[in-house]
Structures are given as C-alpha cells and as structure tokens.
Amino acid sequence: MNDEALLERLRSEGSRSPADVVLLVDAARLAKAESDNMFQPIQSNVLNQAIPERFRSKNNLWYGFSARARVIVYNKENIKPEQVQTYQDLASPALKGQVCTRSGSHPYMLSLMSSLISHLGEYGATQWAKDVVANMARAPKGGDTDQIRGVASGECGVALSNSYYYVRLMRSNKPEDQEVVRKTGLIWPNQQSFGTHVNISGGAIAANAPHADKALQFLEYLATPEAQTYFANGNNEFPVVAGVKLENAELEKLGSFKQDVTPAQVLADNTRLTQQIMDKVGYK
C-alpha cells in the first residue's frame, strides 16, 4: 500500500482505525497527515535526544528516522558535470530540452521547491520552476528510476532523483541496471552554497492508536543504532542518528556531501505555497 492509499484508509476508518503507527515518506506527506489531524503528540526524551531537531516536527507530532538526498543525475556523454552543479543550473537556457523530472505535484518535488523557497525566496523559486518547465525534454511522467533511465537512454540530459533510487541501481545485479549506472553520473547539488536538499522518512503515533504505549516503544526502537542500520542497508537511505556507521558499500561509495540544513518542519510548512506555485507555472 502506497502512502496516498494509506492516508485515505486512515481517513475512512476514522476513530475505528486499528493503526498504532503511521510511517510516511517525505515532509510534504507528513505535513498533509498532520493537517488532517491523523497524529497524536509524542512525549519521549529518547526520541528528542536521538533525532536531530531539524528532522522532527516542532510540536513532537512526527519524527524522521532516515534521510534521502535530492540529487542531479546527468548523461556522461551529452552533459558536462560543470553544467549541473546546482539546482539553479537546471533553469539555465543552456539546458533547453534536456531536463526531466517526475510530476510537479509529487511530494518529492514539492519538498525540494519548499527548500528553494527558503533559500531563493518566493519570487526566485517561482522563476526557477517556470524556467525548468521551459527546459523540459518531455512532460513530467513516471518515478525517479524512470528519470534516471531516461538520462541513460539520452531522452533526457539531466534529471532529479532521490539518492536511494540511484544506489538501488548501483546494487542491482541486472546488466541493464549496471549499464544505466555506467552511462550516468551523480551530482550533489549546491556544495558551494546551501547544500544538497535532504528529506526524511518519518513516523508518528496514530491519532486513535489503540496501543499508543506500544507504538511509542516501536518508534523509539527505530532510533536505535540497530534499526538505523536497517534503513541504510534495506532502503539505501542515510541514518539520521549521529554516530551510526553505514554498512552499505554502494551508499558509502557516493561519499560525503554538504547537506541543506533547512528543517523538515519548514519543508512541511511551505507545502501549500509550493503547490500553488507549481500550478501557477504549469509544472504538471
């Protein structure tokens, strides 16, 4: 069951829901669930000490347990890496007809735009989105893996993707996936400025949880080094708890990078404005 289907089920079940824990990807989705009153406040010194403040809500309604970066993937044959060192570069006239992304209404794109609003301002972010639309190789479609494959095939020169999709291809034993990795390169955007956009997978206690005490125990377990390692190995995401060693060779191979430290709460708070901007500029 995907996140949208899960949220719809919670809405329909209401107070009859048997759900104790709600796990969602992306601050935008967490924000939507929070606005729909699907969570209850959490009181936990364990979580407050383990999870950095920027990866949790300001009112202790949700916590992030793993992180993913929004990276730029480029075609090694057609694009020079120096052309795409920042998110802003995707709006450059030099990339006319080269850019591919998933839908502008998808939470991954909404959260990136929320981050850009915090750095570029509403006007600057709106202009960026407008110029990216003008640079598109095709109308947005498919998921992040589709964007990466489009870059490898030459349909797209560059694309945006969450980092774990690329690592998933790196870890694949399929020859066609290895060929995609061979033909493409990955850029950590904005290393000389505000850093690469980072988002979260997070969890909360359901508003009508019948076993709220057990739900809290489970969320606290997700902040342990053992569980944090599972995220890195199983989902190819980054632990959010300090000091947890990666045990994922391909993820480690990507190296370290400067992260954008915009709080997940800010990403969540900007979501409504972001969708308005995307609709305004025709980012389908």
| Interval 78-116: pLDDT, tens | 999 999 999 999 999 999 999 999 999 999 999 999 999
Same domain, 169 and 108: yes
b/e string for 218-238 if b means 16 or more Cβ within 10 A?
ebbebbeeebbbbbbeebbbb
Q: Model-level pTM? A: 0.93
Segment among 1-10, 153-162, 207-216, 250-259 with least mean pLDDT:
1-10
Quote the CA–CA distance of 284 and 279 in Å, as a whole number: 7
| Whether residue 136 has pLDDT greater than 90 | yes
Average pLDDT value for the chain: 95
Q: What is the pLDDT of residue 149?
A: 98
Q: What is the pLDDT of residue 1?
A: 60
Same domain, 74 and 185: yes
Same domain, 152 and 276: yes
- Report if residue 87 sits inside a domain: yes
- Report if residue 260 sits inside a domain: no
Quote the CA–CA distance of 118 and 70 in Å, as a whole number: 16
- Report if residue 72 sits inside a domain: yes
Q: Residue 282 is encoded by which pair of tokens?
A: 């025709």
Q: What is the pLDDT of residue 6?
A: 82
Q: What's the average model confidence in pLDDT over 161-174?
A: 97
Same domain, 137 and 147: yes
Report the C-alpha dihedral over residues 241, 247, 249, 251, rounded to 10 degrees.
-20
CA-closest candidate to residue 115, choices 140, 139, 88: 88
| Whether residue 198 has pLDDT greater than 90 | yes
Quote the CA–CA distance of 24 and 279 in Å, as a whole number: 24
| Whether residue 3 has pLDDT greater than 80 | no
Q: Which structural domain, as residue segments, surrounds residue 60?
A: 3-10+17-66+199-245
